[in-house]
Each structure stands twice: as C-alpha cells, then as structure tokens.
C-alpha cells in the first residue's frame, strides 16, 4: 500500500476529482489499490489532470454537476466532496455555481455517502476564518467573515457546507469528517487561476513583473499538495467528526514569496505593486495541534522544495 494512504478503501468517489487537489487525491487512491469514481463537470477542473488515470483499471470518470442529483455505478465506502471553484478568479466568475455546489452539491454527496454507509469527508477551507482576529487559527475559532463581500460566495458556501455536514451526522448518523485546507499549492494549478503561487511562477518564467497586492506584507501558509493529500486521507481514515486544519504552520509574506520565486526561477522579473482585493485576509496560519495529536500528521515538504517541484512542472506545461 502507498504510504500516503493510511488504510484501504474498496471504492472511493471523489467529487471535483478533475480539479487540482481532487486529481492528486484520485492518483493517491488509485496507487494504493482503491477503485475511484471521479465526478466533475469541468467548470474549473480539467481533463488533462486525470488523463493519466483514464485507462487504468478501476478508474471511472463521470461528468456531472453535483448540484444536481447524481448516482454512481457501484456503492462507495468513501466519498470525498471536493467539488467547488476554489480560486478567486473562479468563484468571483461563478458565484452562484459556487454557492450551489457548497449547498446542493454537499447535500447530494452526503446523500450518496449515507445511502452507501460510506465515510464522507468535506473539503472546507481556511477561508471560513475570514480576516482572522485570532492568530494562528485553531478549529475552535469562529472566524471573521463578511457575509456579503465579494469573497462571500466561497466563504459562506464552505461555512454552510460545514453546517450541513454536521447536521447530517447529528440527525442521520452519517460518518462524516471535515478538513479545512490552508493554501495548498503544487503541480496542476492553473497559471491564471488568481492564486499567488501559480501567478508568481507564471510571471517569473515569462520575465514579467510579479504583481504583489497591497504592500505585500499579508501572510499565507503554503502547504505542498502531497502533504495536503496525506492529511486528507489521514482524516478520512480517522473517526473524528469535527473540522481539522490541514496546512503548514510556517508563515510567509506575499512579498517574501515573490522574491523567493524570482530567485528559484532565476528570473529577471521585478516586483510591481497593485491594489489589494477587498476583504483580502491580513494573516493566515493554521494551528495544527489537532492534526498532530489525533491524526499523527504534519507537513514534511519544505516550502523551497515544494516550490522547486512546482516550478519544474510549470517549465514543462503551458501556464493556462
């Protein structure tokens, strides 16, 4: 069994499985011997993310919008609900779809899990903490979210998804878990999805100015996708119901990140400052005590190593 996967499932359904994190989850599960049904509508996911899996025995791709009722050909024993636009460029463009995926989509994925008596894991996000007034953020913090700001379509979709998942477990006894992901990055991120790492790498490799928003002193905590996948599957294998932070507790400012990427790419690019988006969080850093204590998980890939791997991938792929 792949060391990434702490237990063996017979059949997993991954909604949003053609997306960035979802496709890495599909690969890890397949490599460990789990059959996978990948459900995606390609609103933000891409066929090329799962191209390497399409001919493998045990992998099934099903094109569907999970905000509409859907079914799969065989009962799963694990449902990973990762369908959702996740980058600013996507959820600002697809606001209603984001809200429907977080509400109706979560409801439909929960129904699938409940009917099959499967373990269900919701992909939530550090964005439920909003622009936090508590730092670092632990799972007991309720957050500071603007419910009608431009980011609310994503923030509130995930907050509602958490509430729905919790209610489902309480009322129907469905075996559920929630992971709050912090700033995952790595291969297969789209270069124009609006997030800092792919944007900076794309710009640096093209010799363009790196566009840092505001003064660049806002922080994020970057977690390489392989570490994130290990954390998600550790949570799936555990019986814990409540949310757990999956992220890297090492903070970095966006200005530091831009300078680091310029150095690692050997780019002649300079830094250009642009307007900071509305409601952009000033800080972001997970307290991962719960993940360490309950799941035995913590990130192991350093930021420099993760960025080197990601840059190498971008050198070989079109940053679209």
Domain boundaries, the chain: 11-185+223-249+285-300
The question of whether 154 is a catalytic residue gets the answer yes
In the structure, what pLDDT confidence band is assigned to residue 214 with cuts at 50, 70 and 90? very high
pLDDT tens by residue, 114-166: 999 999 999 999 999 999 999 999 999 999 999 999 999 999 999 999 999 99
pLDDT at 74 over 60: yes
d(Cα 156, Cα 102) in Å, to the nearest integer?
8
In a 3-state reduction of DSSP, which class is residue 17? coil
pLDDT at 23 over 50: yes
Whether residue 298 is preceded by a cis peptide bond, meaning omega within 30 degrees of 0, is no
pLDDT tens by residue, 24-36: 999 999 999 999 9
5-14, 226-235, 255-264, 268-277, range with the lowest pLDDT:
5-14
- Find the catalytic residue in 154, 185, 224, 314: 154
Write out the two tokens for 116: 């099959």
pLDDT at 57 over 80: yes
pLDDT at 1 over 60: no
User: Domain 11-185+223-249+285-300: what homologous superfamily?
Assistant: NAD(P)-binding Rossmann-like Domain (3.40.50.720)
d(Cα 280, Cα 10) in Å, to the nearest integer?
41
Going by DSSP bridges, is the β-strand pair 119-125/210-213 parallel, antiparallel, or unpaired?
unpaired
The structure's pTM equals: 0.95
């Amino acid at each position: 069994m792949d060391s990434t996967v702490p237990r063996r499932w017979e059949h997993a359904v991954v909604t949003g499985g053609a997306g960035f994190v979802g496709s890495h989850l599909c690969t890890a599960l397949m490599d460990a011997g789990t059959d996978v049904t990948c459900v995606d509508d390609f609103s933000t996911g891409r066929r090329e993310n799962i191209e390497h899996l399409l001919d493998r025995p045990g992998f099934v791709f099903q094109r569907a919008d999970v905000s509409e009722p859907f079914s799969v050909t065989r009962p799963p024993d694990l449902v990973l609900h990762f369908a959702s636009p996740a980058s600013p460029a996507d959820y600002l463009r697809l606001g209603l779809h984001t809200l429907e995926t977080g509400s109706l989509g979560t409801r439909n994925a929960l129904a699938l899990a409940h009917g099959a008596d499967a373990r269900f894991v919701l992909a939530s996000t550090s964005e439920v903490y909003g622009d936090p007034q508590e730092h670092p953020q632990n799972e007991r913090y309720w957050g500071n979210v603007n419910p009608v700001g431009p980011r609310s379509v994503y923030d509130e979709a995930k907050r509602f998804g958490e509430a729905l998942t919790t209610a489902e477990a309480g009322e129907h006894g469905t075996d559920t878990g929630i992971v709050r992901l912090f700033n995952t990055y790595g291969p297969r991120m789209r270069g124009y999805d609006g997030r800092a790492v792919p944007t900076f790498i794309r710009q640096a490799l093209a010799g363009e100015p790196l566009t840092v928003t505001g003064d660049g002193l806002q922080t994020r905590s970057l977690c390489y996708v392989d570490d994130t996948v290990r954390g998600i599957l550790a949570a799936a294998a555990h019986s814990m119901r409540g949310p757990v932070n999956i992220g890297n507790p090492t903070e970095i400012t966006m200005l530091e990140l831009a300078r680091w990427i310029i150095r690692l790419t050997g780019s002649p690019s300079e830094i250009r400052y642009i307007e900071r988006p509305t409601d952009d969080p000033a800080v972001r850093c997970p307290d991962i005590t719960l993940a360490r204590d309950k799941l035995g998980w913590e990130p192991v890939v350093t930021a420099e190593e993760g960025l080197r791997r990601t840059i190498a991938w971008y050198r070989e792929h079109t940053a679209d």
